[in-house]
Structure 1
Amino acid sequence: MIKLLICNFEDLARALRRFEELFGAPEGSAEACELRDISNGLRAFEDKVAARIAARRFTAGSLIDVMPRSGLDPTHRP
């Protein structure tokens, strides 16, 4: 099994094209094995992107929580 690393959107596009070429390969063939490797790489990339989005949301939420509210905020009650 080869560990496929997708580090940028060019790698992602290349992996998706290859996935499309191999889709439907007979089970047990070398192509099916490569297809599984690509699928695992795509999942790993998806997990990495999701983790980055979650980290940014957490950071953004933290900054908003500690920022003072302006006098223009209608929900703010002193």
Structure 2
Amino acid sequence: MKPEIHPNYEAVAVTCSCGNVFQTRSTLCAPLATDVCNECHPFYTGKQKVLDTGGRVQKFADRFGMFGAKK
């Protein structure tokens, strides 16, 4: 590899809007701010809700369920 053409890859602090702070490495070489992290994202915290608002799944099955049926 050629010397002096690659950016610095330094440890930076990442701060989430929930207050969680963790370390990672980046070529940005400046502190980062994020909106969500693994501590507050609904998928990782188990607080994610799956809603079938207005029966959308059943409506889809009624309209297109016959296409996959075998005769």
TM-score by length of 1: 0.25
Which has the higher relative contact order, 1 or 2, with Cα contacts under 8 A spaced 6 or more apart? 1
Task: Decide which structure has greater helix share.
Answer: 1
TM-score in terms of structure 2 length: 0.27
Greater strand proportion:
2
